[in-house]
Structure 1
Amino acid sequence: MKKLIACRMQEGTSVSTHVVKMKGYIDQMNKLGYPMQDEMAADFIFNSLPSSCDQFVMNFNLNGWVKTVLEIHGLLKTAEMNGQSKTNQVLMVRSGGVTKPKPKRRVNNSKGKKKVSVAAKPATNNNKQVAKPKPPPPEERQCFECNKMGH
């Protein structure tokens, strides 16, 4: 009985191996004349599991299942395999966040004047402003009506 109570599973070891060892202890108790019901055997196994199996034990108890040791063994093996795949998924997550485009800011002049958009500024080339082409002086312009120059 002392072996059964003192047997504690180490974190990171195989659940399958531990449950088979605990099943051996339970069978030994049955041969010595101390038979255990399935509920009592399940409690002994669950109490020997590490804290990483607490979620499984809580789900098992909340569902009110009464299972044999072999059925519990199968459930724990499945839970162990699912737990390992979740760990691998966590390791595949990349660090860093999603960069969102910055919204266009609007500058608000005082005294209720027209809002000027930052995006509406003239294009720059290497932090130098690009000059807009100037219209020619009046002497060099062509008249819209008569198509003559200079008036």
Structure 2
Amino acid sequence: MAQGSSVQSHGVKMLSLVEKLNDLKVGVDNDTYIDVILQSLPLSYDPFIINYNMNGLEKSIHQLINMLLQYETLTHKSMSAVVVGEASTSKAKGKRVERWKRKKGKGKAAATTI
């Protein structure tokens, strides 16, 4: 899965691959499918994967995809709040530096003319 793409579309793709393997009578258990899905996620899902493995959750593929959708929704909400907060503080710092430089420059000019 590419960073920034929808986990829902990725989940649908993974489900179709699982169904194709089942149609081919490949003897793979549910835990292997879960591991493949978790390994296909980008690095931004590492906290989710760690939590899933640490808590020893035993879920079906459909339950896992629903959990991933919930995680995606929660992380997008918190990410947008953080980005807005960072943008507003960095602009304020830049303005403070410009004001300080102007005042400092004016002060030197006044001091040299005396």
TM-score bracket for this pair, using the shorter chain length = 0.7 to 0.9
1:56 matches 2:45: no
Identity over the aligned pairs, expressed in percent? 29
Structure with the larger helix share: 2
Q: Find the partner of 1:40 among 32, 43, 50.
A: 32
Secondary structure of 1:71's match? helix
Structure 1 or 2, whichever has the larger Rg, is: 1
TM-score scaled to structure 2, two decimals?
0.73
Partner of 1:25: 17
In the alignment, the residues of structure 2 paired with residue 36 and residue 79 of structure 1 have an alpha-carbon distance, to the nearest angstrom, of: 27
Q: Any unmatched runs of 5+ in structure 1?
A: 1-8, 98-151
In the alignment, the residues of structure 2 paired with residue 91 and residue 49 of structure 1 have an alpha-carbon distance, to the nearest angstrom, of: 23
8 Å CA contact 1:38, 1:66 repeated in 2: no
List 4+ stretches of structure 1 deviating above 6 A: none
1:92 matches 2:68: no
Number of equivalenced pairs: 89
Q: Find the partner of 1:66 among 58, 72, 97.
A: 58
TM-score scaled to structure 1, two decimals?
0.56
In the alignment, the residues of structure 1 paired with residue 8 and residue 43 of structure 2 have an alpha-carbon distance, to the nearest angstrom, of: 16
Q: Any unmatched runs of 5+ in structure 2?
A: 94-114
1:110-149 correspondence runs (5 A): none
Which has the higher relative contact order, 1 or 2, with Cα contacts under 8 A spaced 6 or more apart? 2
